[in-house]
């Protein structure tokens, strides 16, 4: 058993490591070290919390920790990079459900303490948390009840919302926006009922209020995310990340655990900031997205004229051999095909031939921010030629060839040209301004959001159909 002094010192150390981890993730070169800061910080946090004062039940807690660690290791090793967003959503659901269970248990312990005090029983059999509750004044117990309510509400919303986000990202749930009759009014009505139940609970109603509150919150999370379309899923995952952080912070207050409060606040605030940045990058209203697209107005998309013209590897290679400047725009299709290493080899050959080659990265390329950056870093693409959208968008008119690999919505000119498009106003990479555009794509289907792309029908665009990795591999021996 460790003393409280050791636990407090460990909490400070873990908090510092978490802050260093978040700060380091903003730079690709420091990201690996930042991840290790987070790993060490979490190991310190778990160890000193588990063996701190007032903790017992090691005969079942330690085996469960081992089982969880082994399961987490096994799942993480099996999950491909393309499935990382789904894994993140699944992990968020665990945090939310844990918050609900801990909050329920906290109220049961509170009731147990009050019953024992009413019977003037001793405290010798109290758990560490129950003993803490026994020392609280009436007004402090009311705050404890408010913490329980908040943890259940945000935790339950996070759980079902994350489950639906996982389903949409994994293709197990339709990515289109779908709601029950009544739409947002159902969410509003459920939220009002949650408030009524919270007031009843604080006023002395039974444990049943927390059960009904959780059920309504589960519904809100499910219905809220079902009402958000696939194009906004990257924002949703980030938003749920924030929710899971606030749920953890609420439980931290309930358990009087400073480390949980700090960690939850870090996750909650950073997730909220990231969600706001992503909404800005996609020209989405932040409040509208987190409320399931409430108030969104969508017109009728313009009809697209023309046809998609295909080209073979020889034609693409000839254009690359004649080009002086090339920009590559990667997307989720590149990740699915695991084509990053073939792309890296293509870049090496083109640069060896004296050509200027750069990458244009949209803030929401892939399924999570930084998805493409991680893949390219994994394939050892130099950091200095990987540029963000704002850094490269003005260079397309002077570019000879653009190769789009598995991207759709982030290069869709309808965002600027069609006011009725679902993505109208969304900042996109203006690849159509280049002299020639080649789109590597499996077939003629639409992108993840289900929106047709006028780029594919433009005169300076040619469709390079096929698996991205096989297509890029076919170019390698044709490049001079």
- Give residue 278's pLDDT: 77
Is 82 in a helix, a strand, or coil?
helix
Residues annotated as catalytic are 409
The pLDDT assigned to 133 comes to 65
Q: Are 103 and 155 in contact (CB under 8 A)?
A: yes
Check: CB of residue 431 under 8 Å from CB of residue 329. Answer: yes
Range of the domain at 19: 1-78
- Cα–Cα distance measured from residue 330 to residue 296, given in angstroms and rounded to the nearest whole number: 29
Residues 72, 105 within the same domain: no
- CATH for 412: 3.40.50.1220
Burial class (CB in 10 A: 0-12, 13-18, 19+), 398: exposed
Distances (CA, A) of 25 to 13, 36, 180, 281, 373: 19, 11, 39, 19, 12
Q: Report the distance separating Cα 326 and Cα 403, nearest Å.
A: 8
Share of the chain above pLDDT 90, in %: 34
Q: Are 418 and 302 in contact (CB under 8 A)?
A: yes
Least confident of 29-38, 112-121, 216-225, 369-378: 112-121
Total-model pTM: 0.77
Q: Which pLDDT belongs to residue 298?
A: 53
Among 58, 78, 98, residue at a domain's last position: 78
The domain tally of the chain equals 3
Select from 100, 112, 1 the least CA-distant residue to 57: 1
| Residue ending a domain, choose from 27, 52, 78 | 78
* Any domain includes 306: no
Same structural domain for residues 350 and 466? yes
Q: Are 177 and 228 in contact (CB under 8 A)?
A: yes
Q: Which two tokens stand for residue 409?
A: 């919505």
Q: Do 175 and 234 lie in a common domain?
A: yes
Q: How far apart are CA 198 and CA 399, in angstroms?
A: 60
The pLDDT of residue 125: 56
pLDDT at 136: 66
Identify whether 308 is part of a domain: no
Residue 305 within any structural domain of the chain: no
> Is residue 110 domain-shared with residue 147, that is, in the same domain?
yes
Widest CA span in the chain: 90
Q: Is the pLDDT of residue 87 over 60?
A: yes
Q: Are residues 467 and 347 in the same domain?
A: yes
CA 167 from chain centre, in angstroms, equals: 13
Residue 328 has pLDDT above 90, yes or no: yes
pLDDT in tens, 399-433: 999 999 988 888 999 888 887 777 777 889 999 99
Q: Is residue 29 part of a domain?
A: yes
**pLDDT: is 62 or 131 the higher one?**
62
Cβ–Cβ < 8 Å for 461, 432: yes
Averaged over 26-36, what is the pLDDT?
79
Of residues 334 and 57, the one with the higher pLDDT is: 334
Highest averaged pLDDT of the listed ranges 52-66, 221-235, 454-468: 454-468
pLDDT at 325 over 90: yes
Q: pLDDT tens digits, residue range 119-172?
A: 665 545 556 666 666 666 666 777 888 889 999 999 999 999 999 988 887 778
Question: Are 93 and 178 within one domain?
Answer: yes
- Is residue 41 included in any domain, yes or no? yes
Residue positions counted in the chain: 480
Specify if 303 maps to a domain. no
> Which one has a higher pLDDT value, 479 or 328?
328
CB 270 within 8 A of CB 22: yes
Model confidence pLDDT, tens digit, residues 347-384:
999 999 999 999 999 887 876 777 788 888 888 899 88
Q: Say if residue 299's pLDDT is above 90.
A: no
Residues 374 and 424 occupy one common structural domain: yes
pLDDT digits (tens, 9 = 90+) for 183-209: 788 989 999 999 999 999 988 888 999
91 in any annotated domain? yes
Q: What one-character DSSP code corresponds to residue 359? A: E
Burial 225-262 (b: 16+ CB within 10 A, else e): bbbbbbbbbbbbbbbbbbbbbbbbbbbbbbbebebbbb
How does the average pLDDT of the chain come out, rounded? Answer: 84
> What pLDDT was estimated at residue 127?
61
> Is residue 296 in some structural domain?
no
User: In this structure, are 120 and 89 located in the same domain?
Assistant: yes
Please tell me whether residues 73 and 113 are part of one structural domain: no
The more confidently predicted of residues 438 and 302 is 438
Residue that terminates a domain, selected from 62, 78, 94: 78
Residues 371 and 415 in one domain: yes
Based on the domain organization, do 39 and 103 belong to the same domain? no
Tokens of 123: 């405290």
* pLDDT tier for residue 40 given thresholds of 50, 70 and 90: very high
* pLDDT the model gives residue 199: 94
Q: Quick one: 258 and 338 in the same domain?
A: no
Instruction: Tell me how far apart the alpha carbons of residues 329 and 366 are, in angstroms, rounded to a whole number.
Output: 11
DSSP codes of every residue in 210-257:
HHHHHHHHHHHHHHHHHTS-GGGHHHHHHHHHHHHHHHHHHHHHHHT-
Mutual orientation of helices 138-170 and 84-118 as an angle, nearest 10°?
A: 160
Tell whether the model's pLDDT for residue 13 goes beyond 80.
yes
Q: Which of 93, 43, 36, 98 is nearest to 241 (CA)?
A: 93
- Interatomic CA distance for residues 90 and 349, integer angstroms: 40
Output the pLDDT for position 405: 94
Please report, for residues 161, 315, 319, the alpha-carbon distance to residue 462 in angstroms, rounded to integers and kept in the order given: 40, 10, 11
pLDDT single digits (tens) 313-324: 999 999 999 999
Contacts of 303-307 with C-beta under 8 Å, sequence gap 24+, read 304/452, 304/454, 304/457, 305/457, 306/457, 306/458, 307/457
Calculate mean pLDDT across residues 326-332. 93
């Amino acid at each position: 058993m460790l003393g409280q002094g050791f636990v407090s010192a460990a909490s400070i150390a873990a908090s510092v490591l978490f802050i260093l981890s978040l700060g380091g993730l903003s730079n690709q070169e420091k990201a690996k070290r930042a991840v290790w800061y987070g790993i060490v910080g979490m190991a310190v946090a778990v160890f000193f919390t588990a063996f701190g004062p007032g903790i017992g039940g090691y005969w079942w807690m330690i085996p469960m920790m081992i089982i969880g660690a082994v399961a987490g290791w096994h799942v993480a090793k099996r999950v491909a990079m393309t499935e990382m967003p789904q894994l993140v959503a699944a992990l968020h659901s665990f945090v939310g459900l844990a918050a609900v269970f801990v909050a329920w248990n906290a109220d049961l312990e509170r009731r147990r303490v009050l019953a024992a005090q009413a019977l003037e029983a001793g405290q010798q059999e109290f758990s560490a948390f129950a003993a803490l509750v026994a020392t609280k004044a009436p007004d402090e117990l009311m705050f404890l009840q408010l913490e329980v309510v908040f943890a259940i509400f945000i935790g339950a919303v996070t759980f079902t919302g994350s489950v639906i986000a996982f389903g949409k990202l994994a293709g197990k749930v339709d990515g289109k926006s779908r709601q029950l009759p009544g739409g947002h009014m159902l969410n509003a009505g459920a939220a009002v009922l949650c408030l009524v139940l919270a007031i009843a609970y604080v006023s002395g109603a039974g444990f049943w209020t927390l059960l009904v509150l959780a059920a309504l919150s589960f519904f809100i999370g499910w219905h809220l995310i079902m009402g958000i379309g696939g194009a906004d899923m990257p924002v949703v995952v980030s938003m749920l990340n924030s929710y899971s952080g606030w749920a953890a912070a609420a439980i931290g207050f309930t358990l009087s655990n400073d480390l949980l409060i700090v960690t939850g606040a870090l996750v909650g605030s950073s997730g909220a900031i990231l969600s706001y940045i992503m909404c800005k990058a996609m020209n989405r209203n932040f409040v509208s997205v987190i409320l399931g697209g409430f108030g969104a107005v969508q017109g009728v998309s313009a009809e697209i004229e023309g046809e998609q013209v295909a080209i073979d590897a020889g034609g693409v290679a000839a254009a690359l051999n004649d080009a002086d400047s090339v920009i590559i725009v990667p997307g989720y299709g590149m990740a699915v095909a695991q084509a990053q290493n073939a792309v890296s080899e293509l870049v090496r050959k083109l640069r060896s031939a004296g050509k200027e080659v750069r990458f244009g990265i949209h803030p929401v390329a892939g399924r999570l921010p930084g998805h493409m950056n991680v893949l390219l870093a994994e394939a050892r693409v130099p950091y200095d030629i990987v540029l963000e959208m704002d850094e490269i968008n003005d260079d397309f008119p002077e570019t000879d060839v653009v190769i789009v690999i598995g991207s759709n919505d982030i290069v869709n000119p309808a965002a600027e040209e069609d006011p009725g498009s679902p993505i109208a106003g969304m900042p996109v990479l203006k690849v159509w301004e280049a002299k020639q555009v080649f789109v590597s794509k499996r077939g003629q289907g639409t992108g993840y959001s289900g929106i047709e792309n006028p780029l594919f029908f433009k005169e300076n665009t040619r469709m390079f159909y096929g698996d991205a990795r096989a297509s890029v591999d076919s170019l390698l021996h044709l490049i001079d």
